[in-house]
Amino acid sequence: MPEPSGEPGSPGGGANGRVFDRVLLKLSGEALMGELEYGTDPERVERIAKHISEVHDTGLEIAIVVGAGNIYRGLQGAAAGMDRATADYMGMLATVLNALTLQDALEKQGSHTRVLSAIQVTEVAEPYIRRRAERHLEKGRIVIFAAGTGNPFFTTDTAASLRALEIHAEAILMAKHGVEGVYDADPALVADATFIPEITHREAIERGLKIMDSTALSLCMDNQLPIYVFNMADESNIDRIVHGERVGTLVSSGKAF
Ligand code: UDP
């Protein structure tokens, strides 16, 4: 497929009835794991790639931050006695593996992609350069941010908040599997956990709700960046969110009702 023409996009909303034209999608490592206990499930990855590629084809600019919980988490290594920073760097490298997996799957769907890494791995990914990321998005490429923030002691949730702000994404879309959004307790453990359709960043932090870690959530709060927590298993959800439909949980700076 030829590369798109390079006409600049039009962030700010409006095209095709969309309320958002540029979003940042956060995919946890577990999203790629499917029903497996570890690693990546090729069928799950293919489904996710198809879903992303289809919404991208409608003209939506999509950047993705991918985690690595399906492969490695720094805290695991630290718990086993490893130096935390070393373990975190391993976690960041693991996100590069997931980014390449996702890139391959998206390109099989016909999308054009670029992986931009916060840690230099120049043979396989471009270094992260903010302006370049924005240019790729304008040219119709899906940008995959790898290696988190590039710093130990952070998470890919913080990378999602940081990159979303840097590239002027209008919202973060936090993909979940098997749950519709945020609940007042873990629905896997508490049968009558109550679904929360809308909440402020501040309240989510105060109530300790597991949406993102507190560093990531604070960054969104301080910069009024909305977060949509939604079920990725429903293939229409991203499209519905970017068209202004209320799907999943909206975390924002002020309640709309
Ligand atoms: N990590 C890090 N700095 C970052 C992002 C990630 O050190 O900016 C490391 C950290 O060890 C983390 C691992 O990479 O545990 C994988 O990221 P994360 O746990 O956020 O993945 P997810 O939960 O989204 O699958």
pLDDT digit string (tens) for 150-167?
999 999 999 999 999 999
Please work out whether the CB of residue 68 comes within 6 Å of at least one atom of ligand 1: yes
Ligand 1: which of 92, 151, 210 to mutate, judged by most atoms within 8 Å of the beta carbon? 92
Q: Are strands 61-66 and 195-196 parallel, antiparallel or unpaired?
A: unpaired
Please work out whether the CB of residue 67 comes within 6 Å of at least one atom of ligand 1: yes
pLDDT at 5: 46
> Residue 39: left if φ>0, alpha if ψ -120 to 50, beta else—which one?
left
User: Nearest CA to 152 among 95, 201, 100?
Assistant: 95
Q: In this predicted model, what pLDDT tens digit does every residue of 122-144 receive, in sequence order?
A: 999 999 999 999 999 999 999 99
pLDDT at 15: 66
pTM of the model: 0.93
pLDDT higher than 60, residue 8:
no
Number of C-beta neighbours around residue 127 at 10 A: 14
Atom of ligand 1 nearest to the CA of 150: 8
Quickly list H helices, the chain.
42-57, 74-79, 84-108, 130-138, 156-166, 201-206, 214-222, 237-242
CA-CA distance, 173 to 175, in Å (whole number)? 6
Beta bridge partners of 229: 174, 249
